[in-house]
Amino acid sequence: MQERKILGISCFYHDSAAALTVGGRIIAAAQEERFTREKHTAAFPANAIRYCLEEAGLRIDELDAVVFYDKPLLKLERLLQTYYAFAPRGLLSFLRAIPVWLREKIFLKKLIRDGLEEVEPYDRKQLKLLFTEHHLSHAASAFFPSPYERAAILTIDGVGEWCTASIGVGEGNRIRIVREMEFPHSVGLLYSAFTYYLGFAVNGGEYKLMGLAPYGDPGAERTVQYMDTIKKRLVDVKEDGSVWMDQGYFSYATGLRMAREDEWERLFGFPRREEDAAIEQHHCDLALAIQTVTEEIVIKMAREVKRITGADDLCMAGGVALNCVANGKLLREGIFSKIYVQPAAGDAGGALGAALAAAHMYYEEPRMADGVNDQMNGSYLGPQYSDKEVMQMNRRERAVYKRYDNFENLTADVAARLANGEVVGWYQGRMEYGPRALGNRSILADARDPEMQKRLNLRIKNREGFRPFAPAVLVEDATEYFELETDSSYMLMVAQVRRDRCVPLPEGFHGLPLWDKLYQKRSDIQAVTHVDGSARIQTVHRGTNERYRQLINAFKQLTGYGLLVNTSFNVRDEPVVCTPYDAYRCFMATDMDVLVMNEYVYLKSEQPERDNKDKWKSMIATI
């Protein structure tokens, strides 16, 4: 049987990406932002496509199909019907949006063909161009790489064409969508509206809102009132998890903003927070309120999925599936035996889902599901760079390094530096696909250090000080630290730190100001213990990433602790590093102490121009 070669692409909204499959096997996938250095870029993913083709050793003319991750004409239909329904509201937004659609979206086939021409010349007449529906792309991205022969599928995001959430069933190489919720009622847009109101960027700042929520006071009358207001005035949550949202309080359907700020100020008693304004307790309480409501909705949806499908296992995708706090609570509800979340659950993962949907459902490629292992290769699907390319960077930047011939010696030395409080940029192998750094483009540190969270946020990541960090833990040691009964390879499950590792909180803790809560001693792994005693966990397995595992194990041999802080190798508003140049520049622009690339180790104290951070910061801003 011929193995079909299929390129999936997502672009023109946010988080552009490309993915390539051969015979239904995932060969390569990457986000365009990593190459252009423009975070969440919507641009045509020419660089990501070029990489995927090079990784597979293919040319465009050898592809059986190129698949786009949604159907733009259905989106145009939704846009026109929405403006008609809400008229005369939204005239300004209509006048801005329609010319773009007329110029670009209606002629999307030509845009795609022209974009591919920029990658390389090809025979335009022979190219087969396919389109999948947005939520089918999400569903395919979750089910087809999963370990399950049969599973229920739940997708939840902002909006695709019309659909905002879907329930499906996957079996073998087929997916059947059995129920959908439609725009303008959307859990993703509800959460994004609160993201906007609390001063964070939509389609990028939702994880900040999730990280802020634990600073809210769950027992406070104000938090309870906020939840009551949300459910009585903004959104009616049905027993099956579907929602009805009062559009009198929102403006995303026809306006240029997510929410009607004057109405929200009357509801909640304070104005929208500006991006750089101080975070106060009422912001934290509102964040906790909407996070709690979202968790309630997701769990109700999951119960409905179980009722409809009767399946034992669940696959999830869509932007809301990146809410790892909700995922952890859903897992603990025990509705499904196992839950699999696509690591690139957002729109970037739509590129992979589009390719897999075409492979299995259009070309009927067979699918492998052994019940244990997924097909994501640990999400290490991006480019890797050779020693030759690292040496080219070394010469260009006059970097000072030590090359190790024995990797065991390297990990022993780096583990000793980590145990001594140093922060390490860890750059190995193929780049991760999706928003999480999973040990190949990571910044690592000692989780025991009570000052490490503050140092990483303020002196290295240059981001908001309240943001939590994740632990990377040897899978066999996970239950020594966390109340976790499953694997969490992709950092998509939150669980509580074990009580015997936690320090009792002082009386009145929830009434303390945010920063007092943050710096309160919480556990013996303080740097990865959030203020509510939880952690977003990455379990590290044998055979998935041996170098990463070897380093954590070396740290364990020194300290007795089989875990490290793992955060993405980037600074605020910059994509995760891709090339050796990206890594070295980020290393030099921050207070990282050590950089490890392949077998090369760089100490900050030995680097030329190590004190000229402004130079390196300006270089990061322009690459």
**CA 504, 505, 510: angle at the middle one, nearest 5?**
155
**CA 78, 84, 87: angle at the middle one, nearest 5?**
135
Give me the residue spans of the domains in the chain: 5-69+71-131+347-375, 187-338, 387-622
Whether the CB-CB separation of 127 and 350 falls below 8 Å is answered with no
Burial class (CB in 10 A: 0-12, 13-18, 19+), 289: buried
CB-CB neighbours of 491 under 10 Å: 25
**CA 448, 460, 615: angle at the middle one, nearest 5?**
155
Looking at the DSSP assignment, which residues form a beta bridge with residue 441?
427
Whether the CB-CB separation of 258 and 202 falls below 8 Å is answered with yes
CATH topology of domain 187-338: Nucleotidyltransferase; domain 5 (3.30.420)
In this prediction, residue 140 carries a pLDDT of 98
Radius of gyration of the chain, Cα coordinates, nearest whole angstrom? 24
Number of Cα atoms under 13 Å in the Cβ half of residue 163 = 23
In this structure, what token pair is assigned to residue 421?
């409080």
Q: Which residues contact 480 (CB under 8 A, 6 or more apart)?
A: 498, 562
Number of Cα atoms under 13 Å in the Cβ half of residue 391 = 4
CATH topology of domain 5-69+71-131+347-375: Nucleotidyltransferase; domain 5 (3.30.420)
| Phi/psi at 281 (5° precision) | -60, -35
CB-CB neighbours of 186 under 10 Å: 26
Whether the CB-CB separation of 24 and 367 falls below 8 Å is answered with yes
Q: How far apart are the C-alpha atoms of 206 and 25, rounded to whole Å?
A: 32
Distance of CA 533 to the CA centre of its chain: 22
Domains 5-69+71-131+347-375 and 187-338 share a fold: yes
| Phi/psi at 273 (5° precision) | -75, 130
Q: How far apart are the C-alpha atoms of 548 and 541, rounded to whole Å?
A: 10
Q: How far apart are the C-alpha atoms of 251 and 257, rounded to whole Å?
A: 6
- Token pair 């940029």 is found at 425
Whether the CB-CB separation of 569 and 438 falls below 8 Å is answered with no
Q: How far apart are the C-alpha atoms of 195 and 290, rounded to whole Å?
A: 10
Question: Judging by DSSP bridges, how do beta strands 163-171 and 150-156 pair with one another?
Answer: antiparallel
In this prediction, residue 517 carries a pLDDT of 87
Whether the CB-CB separation of 414 and 557 falls below 8 Å is answered with no
Kindly compute the dihedral angle of the four CA atoms of residues 560, 517, 514, 292, in this order, to the nearest 10 degrees.
Answer: 80
CB-CB neighbours of 546 under 10 Å: 15
Whether the CB-CB separation of 167 and 308 falls below 8 Å is answered with yes
CATH class of the 387-622 domain in this structure: alpha beta
In this prediction, residue 106 carries a pLDDT of 64
pLDDT digits (tens, 9 = 90+) for 12-43: 888 999 999 999 999 999 999 999 999 999 99
Whether the CB-CB separation of 577 and 427 falls below 8 Å is answered with yes
Looking at the DSSP assignment, which residues form a beta bridge with residue 154?
167, 316
Helix or strand or coil: residue 205?
coil
Helix or strand or coil: residue 16?
coil
Sign of CA dihedral 359, 160, 382, 567: negative
Q: How far apart are the C-alpha atoms of 575 and 31, rounded to whole Å?
A: 10
Q: How far apart are the C-alpha atoms of 200 and 189, rounded to whole Å?
A: 14
Looking at the DSSP assignment, which residues form a beta bridge with residue 482?
497
The DSSP result for 91-138, as a single string, is HHHHHHHHHHIIIIITTHHHHHHHHHHHH----GGG--EEE--HHHHH
What letter does residue 336 receive in the DSSP assignment? S
First to last CA, the chain: 44
CB-CB neighbours of 485 under 10 Å: 12
pLDDT lower than 70: segments of the chain: 1, 73-106, 256, 614, 618-623
In this prediction, residue 102 carries a pLDDT of 62
In this structure, what token pair is assigned to residue 160?
């695709």
Burial class (CB in 10 A: 0-12, 13-18, 19+), 1: exposed
Q: How far apart are the C-alpha atoms of 497 and 484, rounded to whole Å?
A: 9
Whether the CB-CB separation of 365 and 173 falls below 8 Å is answered with yes
Number of Cα atoms under 13 Å in the Cβ half of residue 240 = 13
Q: How far apart are the C-alpha atoms of 332 and 195, rounded to whole Å?
A: 26
Question: Judging by DSSP bridges, how do beta strands 17-22 and 25-31 pair with one another?
Answer: antiparallel
Kindly compute the dihedral angle of the four CA atoms of residues 540, 546, 550, 551, in this order, to the nearest 10 degrees.
Answer: -70
